[in-house]
Each structure stands twice: as C-alpha cells, then as structure tokens.
Chains A and B, each alone.
Chain A
C-alpha cells in the first residue's frame, strides 16, 4: 500500500478533479498513486476497490464515485443488529439465505451498476446482487451466518452507496403493479388493434372473396371476439373514472370517452348481428390503444424521488436506549416516556426530551428555520427534530414520538385534505361543455333525420356519438404535459404529476421561506469586522477555535481549512465557558472569543454580531455569520416582479430584514420568527383573499405551508436527501430559473389550447360526415387514428421545439 503524500501540494492554476468523485480538489488535496483525490474518503474507496481488483469501476465512466466528504458512520447502523428491525427490512430470511432490497438514491451511472453487482467480490457472504437502475434499488442475497445485515449496509456505505432505510415500503409495491398493468393493457389493445385492422382489410377494399358469406361472417365474429378484451379489460379505468365522476355529479373527460367506447361497441355488435355492416371494431381498438399510450406518457414518474414524505421519514429508525447501564438500539416508535437515550453528533433527536448531560448544541434550522444553532443546558426541554452538534448527549424522553411538538403539525387538517379536491383541470372543464354540445348535435341530427329517413336517423345519432369521442382532445393534454414534465426533469425540476404544470399557470402570489430556500444551508461564511488581524493572529484564533465544538467555532475552522497545520498550535489554559465563550493562551498571548460579557466589559455592543474577539485584553472586533443568498436571487425576483406578488416567511429573527429589502420590491410582505403553524395560517389568509399561492420551502417547518399552498415546491441542495411532502422538488442550484419554469408552464398550456383547436377541427370534419349520414366504417377507420396521431405528433413536436427555443433542453 502506498503512502499518502499530502505534503506534495500541487500548485497549478488548472483545476484538479478528484479521480474518484469528480469534485474539484483543494490545493492541499490527497495524492495517492499519482491520482488526485479530493478527500481521504475518496482515497479509501479507491484503495478498497483496488485491493479487491475492482478498478474496472473507473474504466466505465470518468470519476463515477460518490463524494465521501463529511461522512462518518460510527455506530450509526448499530440498530440493524436489532432483530425486530431486521425483520422489517429483510424481504426474506431462512437459514443460510437472507434477501434484502435497498433503495440507494445515489445510483447514477453504469459504473454504479457494475460495482454494486460485483459486491460479492468485496465481502465474503454476499452471494448475489442486482441493480434496478430506474428504481435506484439494489437487491442483495447474502448469507446471514457469514455477514450480518449491518455489515452489508456498512460495506455499501463505505464505498459511498449509503442505502436509504425506511420501514414504509408498502406504498412502493402498489405503484409497481399499477405500472405493469398499464403496459399489459397497452399490449392487449395493440394486439387487438393490429389484428382487427388486418382482418378488416378485405372490407375496406371490397375484395371478391367477401361474397363468401361464411368467411365474411367468420371474420366479423372474430373481430367481435378480439374487441372483447379491449372493452372489458383495457377500458375499465375509463368506465370506473366516469362512473365515480357521475356519482359526484361531475362530468370529467372520461365520461365522453366511456360513452364513445360503449356506443362504438354496441353499434358495431348490432351491425354484425343484423348483418348491417362490418362495424367499427378497428376504430374502437385503435382509440383505446392511443388513449392508453397517452396515459402511459403522462404517468411517467420520478420513481427515485418521493413527494409524500412526512416527519416519519425524517426521523431516525432507531435510537440507542440506555437500560440497566447497557446501551441497546431500539426502534424509535417503541420509545416510552422516561426512557433514557443517547444521541450522538449529527443525529436527530427523535422525541421531545429533557437534557441530562451538561450541555447540547441543537441545530434546528431544518425544523424551525432558525439559522443559528441553539445552546441548551441541563434540564432544558429539547423538542424533537433538532440535530445535535458536538459530543454525544443523554436525554430523558418526555413524550412518545407520535405526540411530540413537531409531529403535531401533521394533525392539522391541511394534511388530511384529499389531493386535487378543488382543482379542476383544463381538460375536465372543457369536456363538460364538450359532452353537452355533442349530445345536442346528436339529438338535433336525430330529430332532423327522423323527418327525412327514419332508418338513417339512428345511424346518424350513433355516428355523431362515435366520431365525437374526444380522443384527440384527451390525447393532447397527456402528451403535452408529459413531455413538458420531461423537459422540467432535465432541468432538475421534478414534478409529482402533470397536473402541477397546470397549477403553476394559475399562480398569483409567491411565498418564499428564507433559511435554506433563499439562503444556502450550512454555507454561512464568517466575516470579521474590526482591526484587521495579521496572519499569525488569525492562526491563533483558528487554533483556539479548533478546540471547541460550538457551531461558530466549527464554521471558523471550516473557512480556514487550507491552513490545517495551524490547529497544531499548542493551547495552554484552554477554557470553555458554557453560553459565554472560549479562551486560551497561544504563543504566550491571551485569546478570547465569546459574548460581550465574556470580554470583561470592554468594547461596545455591535448589532448583528455573533461573537467578539479579544487578544491580550484588547477587543479587536466581532465575528458575524452571513447568510449567503443563493446565486442570482436578485435577478430572479426582478424577472418575476411584474407578474407576481411576493411574501417572505422566515423562522429566523429580523436580522436579515435589511438584506431582504434590497432583494425584494417594496410591496413584499415579510414576516419573521414564524412558527410552522404561523406559516400555514399565513398561506390560508392569502388564499381567503383569493390568491393562488406558490410556496417555496425546504424544511419541516415549511411542511404545513407546502401542503396548504396551491402549489408547494421543495427546494433542496441534494435531490436524494429528505424533502417534506410537496408538489415538486427543485434543485437549489436551479432556483434562479424559476421564472423560466413558470413561463414554460404557460407555454405548455398554450400548446394545449392549440391542440384543442386542432382536435376541434377534426371533430367538426368528423361530425359533418356523421350528420350527413356518411360515416362509413372506412371513413371512421381513417379519420380517428389520423386525428389521434397528428395531435400526438403536434403536442410532442411543439413542446420540444419551444423547450429548445427557451434553451431548456
């Protein structure tokens, strides 16, 4: 094994890219075997792979790895030794065989597939592993006597593929079967469509052989037979939806479709039985075939993402409980009042508890929106959801998880409302008028023909219903929206379903959360204000801060990371006084960082300062944590300003008001120190005023507002990490493109309008054939597929062209 040569610092201006993960490397990065690595984690993975002869991983793609920066597993997976938890996670266990399916969000390239399918070379005991790329899952078959579940998970984690472990898996399985059913239905409809068409050719061209009554009858009855699965299997979803719509006294698009299918089938059947003609079986099967394909395009979902998560998937699965001086991992839901638990650095506190240790630093930014960590002392009540930073702490549970302060938000009625209950999609609104219009024309045709030719009157009536079946109408929406959703997805804006695009076009008011949405998480830089420090002095400060676990100290060190050797400075008489500050002697100088009181009354108070610094008793200046706004927020607000109203809701204090006022127009309402319920209420007030609200948020504190708003977008820096339930997930880097996304959703709506116009043209042509009694089966067989295909083509083409013009693809 080679020696790490971090001393060999390359000082080239060219950007150095990590051999493993492709991140940019710092000047002091790790060099190993003449390859550059951004951190020790990446180097370790390379070593593991190399030792196991798995370097093929790097040949398949360039820098395929996953960065392991700031990953520390420690005892995190100890809970996997608990047999109760194991039972819930394992798919199958019997003797020497255990099977498990892990969801690994970071799977992203062919190298990932290769490595994960070669796990058996890495660890003895793993027999077989197989990746499902679309679902980002890996299926592992292992021998539990040779390797424990915990070891399997640890192996995955150490090579960067940390599985997302959740105990709620049922929902996934149902989705899978729905998808499969749809594909089978498409297959069956296509089968019937093709065969009926083929068998109908003699009819179309009036072949001689048709005179043979036996063959003719045989072919017609075969058509009837082939159309049975189309009507009784493929169309069931449409019947169900139309029926449930009718029960609620509501006409949706599926009603005219169902009417069309039933009339087509019955009329054709009557034609065959009474020997009136060949019927319209080919049109019927073709119609269903295209409709189902449209549904499939629309149903494309981002299976790797979850839009429905609530607090349960944010909380850990298990926690270490102390009982009889023994520490044991127990499932979080089994926690009872007055259990004693240990929470380590970086772990989330699962239940409202009282602190037993001397002190704790809790980061609530995700839960409440406060950007600064909160210091808690012994006997303080700590609410669930906070993240401990620093050493491990002992806590005494006060309430079970399901009754904690945070989870009560989920009892709000906003979380119980039925999805889409009030939103009526464009196509459903139009179909209401369409159905009535078609019925009127059919009746008018019937009554006029009754006076001319009674025999033909019924034919005209049914022909209108057949041809008016809104196939083109109902195809334009799924294809336009399905393609638009794809365009958004390529721009890292993932929608829950296509309805969201339509919702986006109705927005009048945009509400922003501040912490984590407008500002970057964890990125707050620290600025020093006061008498400038020389190099030596700043080294003393970093050296002192290196001894503390306080979030501010950690940020200070992080900012200075290039100067790692400085932390080697020897500190004498180091003291940390809770809630006040730290002090120590460096190079014979007395250095103090802390609150103003800690400075022994020297110096004057400065607003917005987070800490003061004094060297040898002289106050040198203050440290201030800056909120770093995401890039180009100002430009985004400027672009949106003339079309929407804004509000800013922040869980934080008012310190940032000034900075926000510079970004937002004067009319913007800003509210600070907002609790999760306040945000929800505010959205409600806006809606009562008739506003259509778009909410952008990132944390659990926004969860209520995201659900309550008309459209909720969760903004996240890491698409694979936890986001609260929402209508869409947006990559934080693309937040500045929000105006382009909103405009593009309007473009999509306009494309739908245009396709409606086209499909109405077809309907007018078709109906004029029908009303004049000229809708022969062959006319229907040409007209109906032609209209479907041209609408599909137009929708697809228009969306892609517009996306190219807008530079979205």
Chain B
C-alpha cells in the first residue's frame, strides 16, 4: 500500500510547484494589470510605409 503514499507525496509536490509558480507570478507583478496584456497581444505588427503603399495599389 506504500505506493499510494508515494503517489500522494508526488502529487503534493507537483501541486506545491504550481503554488510556488503562482506566488512567483504574483510577486513579479503579473496580476497587477489585467487589462493591457489582453489588449497588447492583439496589436498588429505595425504596417510600414511600404506595406501601406502596396495595399493601396492593390
């Protein structure tokens, strides 16, 4: 039956690792601003002058 104990120990270790990751994420400020990252990822790489000219020609 000791295999269950082993499994529980492993699972708790994994869970603790996630907890530590969470604490690190909070400490490093990832939860300070929840709005701008969600918008930022949608910004396109800016079309340069060239791209714009190409588009208008097409």
Q: Which residues in A have some Cβ–Cβ distance to B below 8 Å?
A: 53-54, 56, 60, 110, 113-114, 117-118, 121, 131-135, 176, 179-180, 183-184, 187-188, 191, 194-195, 199, 209, 212, 214-215, 218-219, 222, 226
Contact = CB atoms under 8 A, between A and B. Distances in A.
Interface string B27-58: 10101111110011011101111000000000
A121 B48 CA distance: 12
Given A132-B33, A134-B32, A187-B26, A110 B39 contact: yes
Contacts of A131: 33, 36
Contact of B31 (A54, A133, A183): A183
Given A134-B32, A183-B31, A215 B46 contact: no
B40 A113 contact: yes
29 contacts: A53-B46, A53-B49, A56-B43, A110-B39, A114-B39, A117-B40, A117-B43, A133-B33, A133-B35, A133-B36, A134-B35, A135-B32, A135-B33, A179-B32, A180-B26, A183-B26, A187-B19, A187-B23, A187-B26, A188-B23, A191-B15, A195-B12, A195-B15, A212-B1, A214-B1, A214-B2, A215-B4, A215-B5, A226-B12
A188 B8 contact: no
Given A56-B43, A133-B39, A214-B5, 20 more contacts: A53-B49, A56-B44, A56-B47, A110-B42, A113-B36, A113-B39, A118-B46, A131-B36, A132-B32, A132-B33, A134-B32, A135-B32, A184-B23, A191-B19, A194-B15, A199-B8, A215-B1, A215-B5, A218-B5, A222-B8
A56 B48 CA distance: 11
A60 B19 CA distance: 37
Nearest to B52: A53
A180 B31 contact: yes
Contacts of B2: 214
A371 B4 CA distance: 80
Nearest to B36: A133
A234 B26 CA distance: 16
Nearest to B40: A113
Contacts of A222: 8, 12
B1 to A, nearest CB: 5
B46 A134 contact: no
A218 B39 CA distance: 48
B7 to A, nearest CB: 11
Nearest to B47: A56
B22 interface: yes
B54 to A, nearest CB: 14
Give the 4 A-B residue pairs with the shortest CB-CB distance, closest first. A133-B35, A133-B36, A110-B39, A132-B33
Contacts of A191: 15-16, 18-19, 22
A180 B32 contact: yes
Contacts of A118: 46
B36 A188 contact: no
Contact of B1 (A117, A183, A187, A209): A209
A109 to B, nearest CB: 9
B8 A218 contact: yes
Nearest to A212: B1
Contacts of A135: 32-33
Nearest to A116: B36
A183 B48 CA distance: 42
B4 to A, nearest CB: 6
A1 to B, nearest CB: 16
Contacts of B22: 184, 187, 191
A168 B19 CA distance: 35
Given A132-B32, A176-B32, A114 B43 contact: yes
Nearest to B22: A187
A793 to B, nearest CB: 23
Nearest to B31: A183
B38 to A, nearest CB: 9
A749 to B, nearest CB: 31
Contacts of B47: 56
Contacts of A179: 32
Contacts of A218: 5, 8
A56 B4 CA distance: 58
Contacts of A54: 46
B36 A132 contact: yes
Given A191-B19, A199-B8, A53 B32 contact: no
A101 to B, nearest CB: 12
Contacts of B42: 110
Contact of B48 (A53, A187, A219): A53
Given A132-B36, A180-B31, A209 B4 contact: yes
Nearest to B23: A184
Contacts of A214: 1-2, 5
A117 B47 CA distance: 16
Contacts of A219: 8
A199 B9 CA distance: 11
A57 to B, nearest CB: 11
A56 B1 contact: no
A114 B1 CA distance: 58
Contacts of A114: 39, 43
A249 B56 CA distance: 77
Nearest to A121: B46
Contacts of A199: 8
A113 B38 CA distance: 11
Contacts of B29: 180
A275 to B, nearest CB: 18
Contacts of A226: 12
Contacts of B16: 191
Nearest to A176: B32
A133 B32 CA distance: 9
A212 B42 CA distance: 56
B23 A56 contact: no
A576 B36 CA distance: 54
A719 B4 CA distance: 60
A516 B34 CA distance: 36
A179 B32 CA distance: 9
Nearest to B15: A195
A214 B6 CA distance: 12
A114 B39 CA distance: 9
Contacts of A134: 32-36
A409 B43 CA distance: 50
A112 to B, nearest CB: 9
Contacts of A188: 19, 23
Nearest to A132: B33
A195 B27 CA distance: 23
A755 to B, nearest CB: 28
Contacts of B36: 113, 131-134
A687 B44 CA distance: 59
A180 B27 contact: yes
Contacts of B15: 191, 194-195
A195 B16 CA distance: 10
A54 B2 CA distance: 65
A209 B36 CA distance: 51
A545 B44 CA distance: 52
A118 to B, nearest CB: 7
A209 B48 CA distance: 68
A574 B11 CA distance: 90
B9 to A, nearest CB: 9
A184 B5 CA distance: 28
A61 to B, nearest CB: 10
B35 to A, nearest CB: 4
Contacts of B39: 110, 113-114, 133
A194 B8 CA distance: 14
A194 B19 CA distance: 12
